[in-house]
Amino acid sequence: MIALREIHYSYPSGQRVLKGLNLEVGEGEKVGIVGANGSGKTTLLHTMMGLILPNEGEVELFGALCLAEKDFREARKRMGFVFQNADDQLFCPTVAEDIAFGPRNLGMDSHEAHHLVHEVMDLLEIGHLEARVTHQLSGGEKRLVAIATVLAMKPEILILDEPTTGLDAVTEERVAGILRDLVKTSIVVSHDREFLRRTVIRTVNLSDGVIK
């Protein structure tokens, strides 16, 4: 589903962060990515999503080489990305509107979107948040709503950047259960190796710009 080949990327400052990185993730795999702070884990995820383009190397998504924004735009319809900071993807007035935004943007009518919103909220046990103003939610509630907005798109692969940041133990376990039981293919960046032990099948280490 995802193949990164000999990926090189340097920050605008000139600092090299990815140095010939290779990574493949197939259908049904659940992969955890660990690494020291500043090792480039978020940069790696942004490269997968086409949010940044590598200086060198190839990004192949679902069997197609992605060279420009139009290529990534098509692939993103099949991918769900949960940002490290939930505020980066919650921008509608209410929780229900945030969850419905993606499906409506893809052409789903209001009746279908309404049904899907309630389906996803029931799945994540957040129905009580439906009419809440998103920016007034707690950190854990925002995290669950961010995941809901992505699951509503019915992605073929779910990609999460530090999903346990700021979560209490109860909410963390709920997120772990979602990844373990409801998601078929996933990539999870996390510093929490115990969380990864419960949610992924294999873990790789990003060190010195390559996967080890």
CA distance 137 to 139: 7
Q: Which of 46, 111, 50, 112 is nearest to 83 (CA)?
A: 46
pLDDT at 139: 87
Which residues, in sequence order, are bridge partners of residue 122?
none
CA distance 137 to 133: 7
Torsion of CA 204, 205, 206, 210, to 10 degrees: -70
Strand arrangement, sheet containing 30-34: 79-82, 157-161, 186-189, 30-34, 202-207, 210-211
For residue 190, how many C-alpha atoms fall within 13 Å in the half-sphere facing its CB? 28
As assigned by CATH, the class of the 29-42+78-211 domain is: alpha beta
pLDDT at 116: 92
Name the residue ranges covered by the structural domains of the chain: 29-42+78-211
pLDDT at 49: 96
Query: Whole-model pTM?
Result: 0.91
Which residues, in sequence order, are bridge partners of residue 25?
2
The answer to whether the beta carbons of residues 88 and 81 sit under 8 Å apart is no
Per-residue pLDDT of the chain (212 residues; tens, 9 = 90+): 999 999 999 999 999 999 999 999 999 999 999 999 999 999 999 999 999 999 999 999 999 999 999 999 999 999 999 999 888 899 999 999 999 998 888 888 889 989 999 999 998 889 999 999 998 999 889 999 999 999 999 999 999 999 988 788 888 898 899 899 889 999 999 999 999 999 999 999 999 999 99
pLDDT at 107: 85
Kindly report the backbone phi and psi dihedral angles of residue 55, in degrees, each rounded to the nearest multiple of 5, phi listed first: -70, -35
pLDDT at 105: 85
- What is the DSSP secondary structure assignment for residue 78, as one 8-state letter? T
